[in-house]
Structure 1
Amino acid sequence: MNGGLVVDDGFIYEEEKHLTVHKTCLFFANDGFTVYDCKGELVFRVDSYGPETRDQCELVLMDPHGRCLLTVRRKRPSLHHRWEGYLGEGTDGNKPIFSVRRSSIVGRCSVTVEVYGNPGEEYQIEGSFANRSCTIFNAGKESMAEIRRKVDASTNVVLGKDVFSLCLKPGFDGAFAMGLVLILDQINGDDYVGDAVEGHPAIDE
Structure 2
Amino acid sequence: MTKVHPGVAAVAAAAAAVEEGKGEAVSLTVWRRSLLFNGKGFTVFDGAGNLVFRVESYAGGSSREVVLMDADGRALLTIRRKKLSLADEWLIYDGDAASPAAPAPKRFTARRHVSLRPSKSLAHLSPARASSAGAAAAPSACRYDVEGSYAGRCLDVFASPSAGEQQRRRRRVAAVCRKEAAVGPDVFRLVVEPGFEPALAMAVVILLDQMHAS
Distance 1:49 1:176 in 2: 23
Local SS of the residue matching 1:184: helix
Local SS of the residue matching 2:191: strand
Structure 2 residue aligned with 1:128: 149
Distance 1:69 1:185 in 2: 18
Distance 2:202 2:180 in 1: 20
Structure 2 residue aligned with 1:88: 95
Distance 1:105 1:13 in 2: 34
Structure 2 residue aligned with 1:13: 21
- Tell me if the contact between 1:87 and 1:96 (Cα under 8 Å) persists in the aligned partners: yes
Distance 2:116 2:95 in 1: 33
Gaps of 5+ in 1: 1-7, 153-157, 192-205
Gaps of 5+ in 2: 1-15, 129-136, 161-168
Task: Say which of 99, 107, 125 aligns to 1:113.
Answer: 125
Percent identity between the two aligned chains? 38
Q: Give the alignment's Cα RMSD to 1 decimal.
A: 2.3
Count of residues in Structure 1 that have an aligned counterpart in Structure 2: 174
Q: Does residue 66 of structure 2 align to residue 42 of structure 1? A: no
- Tell me if the contact between 1:80 and 1:105 (Cα under 8 Å) persists in the aligned partners: no
- Tell me if the contact between 1:29 and 1:48 (Cα under 8 Å) persists in the aligned partners: no
Q: Does residue 176 of structure 2 align to residue 147 of structure 1? A: yes
Instruction: Output the amino acid matched with 1:114.
Output: S
TM-score normalised per structure 1: 0.77
Distance 1:79 1:43 in 2: 35
Deviates more, 1:102-111 or 1:14-23: 102-111
Mark the structure with the bigger radius of gyration. 2
TM-score normalised per structure 2: 0.74
Instruction: Output the amino acid matched with 2:109.
Output: S
Instruction: Output the amino acid matched with 2:202.
Output: M
- Tell me if the contact between 1:19 and 1:38 (Cα under 8 Å) persists in the aligned partners: yes
- Tell me if the contact between 1:29 and 1:51 (Cα under 8 Å) persists in the aligned partners: no
Deviations 1:73-96 (A, max 9, x none): 001223431110111112474341
Q: Larger relative CO (CA 8 A, sep 6+): 1 or 2?
A: 1
Q: CA deviation at 1:105?
A: 5.4
Task: Say which of 127, 130, 137 aligns to 2:158.
Answer: 137
Deviations 1:21-57 (A, max 9, x none): 00027xx753210000110000100012533132xx0
Structure 2 residue aligned with 1:168: 192
Shift in CA distance, 65/52, structure 1 to aligned 2, threshold 3 Å: same
4+ aligned runs moved over 3 Å, structure 1: 91-95, 105-109
Distance 1:130 1:47 in 2: 21
Local SS of the residue matching 1:32: strand
Local SS of the residue matching 2:91: strand
Q: CA deviation at 1:130?
A: 1.3
- Tell me if the contact between 2:18 and 2:26 (Cα under 8 Å) persists in the aligned partners: no
Instruction: Output the amino acid matched with 1:150.
Output: K
Deviations 1:146-182 (A, max 9, x none): 0111112xxxxx5311001000011110001111111
Distance 2:17 2:211 in 1: 27
Instruction: Output the amino acid matched with 1:34.
Output: T
Q: Does residue 74 of structure 2 align to residue 67 of structure 1? A: yes
Alignment of 1:188-203 (within 5 A): 188-189=212-213, 191=214
Local SS of the residue matching 1:72: strand
Structure 2 residue aligned with 1:195: none
Structure 1 residue aligned with 2:211: 187
